[in-house]
Structure 1
Amino acid sequence: MRRFIILITLLFICTSCSQEANFDSPVYSGSKLKIGIVGDKPKIREKNISFIQLSMEDILRKKFKNLDSVFITKSYLKEAAKPQYAKIYLQSPIPFIFIESEKVYLAFIDDQLSYEDAHTIKSGDYLVGFYKDTYFGLGLHNNIKNEKTIQDCYSRLFVILERFKNTGKIIIN
């Protein structure tokens, strides 16, 4: 009886794990996107995405106008939330994406609010985007952080960025 219970428990665990790993995660196959990145490039599955390395100084100098979006990685978020950048994000002709932010988007667009003082994200969003007056967030599948769920999150983001490139609007389905 004891072996039977152990066997059933192991089967349940294996089944649960395989269901998590087998979710539908289409790879973005749309038009080419050119993305500026402050920090390390993410590991993505797509071949039609090119990353252009930027610094926070480049952001201040607005050297991102020929790009489809700018990503700012976790290690630069505190600097990205400094007051001198808020107006740049608010007036940007392209969306800014803040990767793995623990704070709400207001940390970046409110020049009176520091990263440390901003509210913590409760939604579980992995990617936080902002364009003009539109905020959007994308979470990981079942809030599980692994290579597949992160790559899936980026693939969904690329669809949003392609729609933006074609329409000038943030459209999330």
Structure 2
Amino acid sequence: MKKLFIGILILLVFLMGCNAEDEYESPVYMGEDLTIGVIGEKPDVREENVSFHNMSLEELEYENQGISDEYDAIFIMKEYLKQAGENKYSKVYSELKLPIFFIESEKAYVPFIYDDITYDEFPDVEDQMYISGIMSEGDGRFKTWGFGLYNDTKTETNIRSTYSSIFEKIDSVN
């Protein structure tokens, strides 16, 4: 019985050690207050100086001039990526003058900037980022970003740390 207990204890220590290697907690974003429009469910973040406001793709399409004044960035969550990747929205993204982030896109940002291919038509991208971002520079050019998870491990800690990095990027762009 004692050997079994020691074996279990060693296994627990090993597993706890492995878990620690797969997580990284970055510093919390402490910059300017940010207001972010979200299409989908609001993400769970650590920051208190970041507020999220639900919106729809239709609002993005028909009110895009005012959106740039109202928000610091737009997040499009995973459950809306197919719809957001429809051809008609590529023009919207090219006209907005603020960062747009596609959460958990398996296709990176590519199907969102070209009007001749949809999200479903574009193949999955190997070694993709957890979150891809774009910002129009005009004339069909975009700044692009990719944010991965620490050790490519999907944990709450790693996801929250990735969001903190994105908030830093939004702050630096604004």
TM (norm. structure 1) is 0.86
Structure-2 residue corresponding to 1:65: 68
1:1-173 correspondence to structure 2 within 5 Å? 10-21=12-23, 23-61=24-62, 62=64, 63-66=66-69, 67-132=71-136, 133-165=142-174
1:105 and 1:128 in contact (8 A); partners too: yes
Contact 2:101/2:132, CA 8 A, preserved across alignment: yes
Q: 3-state SS of the aligned residue for 2:22?
A: helix
* Deviation per residue, 1:110-150 (Å, 9 max, x gap): 11101111131222311110012111110111111111111
Residue 19 of structure 1 deviates from its aligned partner by 3.1
Offset of residue 82 of structure 1? 0.7
Aligned 8 A contact 2:32 2:49 in 1: yes
Aligned-residue offset at 1:9: 5.4
Aligned CA RMSD, in angstroms, stands at 1.8
- 5+ residue gaps, structure 1, are 166-173
Report what 1:169 is aligned to: none
State the AA in 2 paired with 1:89: Y
Q: Aligned partners of 1:126 and 1:13: how far apart in 2?
A: 25
* CA distance in 2 between partners of 1:111 and 1:50 (Å): 31
Output one character per residue of 1:34-55: Cα deviation in whole Å (capped at 9) or x when no partner: 1111111000000000111110
Alpha carbons 1:82, 1:114 under 8 Å: kept: yes
Q: Point out where structure 2 has 5 or more consecutive residues left out of the alignment.
A: 137-141
Query: What secondary structure sits across from 1:125 in the alignment?
Result: coil
Aligned length: 163
Aligned mates of 2:170, 2:125 — CA distance in 1: 22
8 Å contact 2:25–2:158 — kept in the other structure?
no
Q: Residues 130 and 149 of structure 2 are in contact (CA less than 8 Å); yes or no, is this contact kept in structure 1? A: yes
TM normalised by structure 2 equals 0.86
8 Å Cα contact 1:104-1:119 kept in structure 2: no
Offset at 1:5? 7.8
Higher-RCO chain (CA-CA 8 Å, sequence separation at least 6): 2
In structure 2, distance between residues paired with 1:135 and 1:94: 12
Paired with 2:9 and 2:53, the residues of 1 have a C-alpha distance of: 51
Distance in 1 between the 2:20 and 2:110 partners?
38
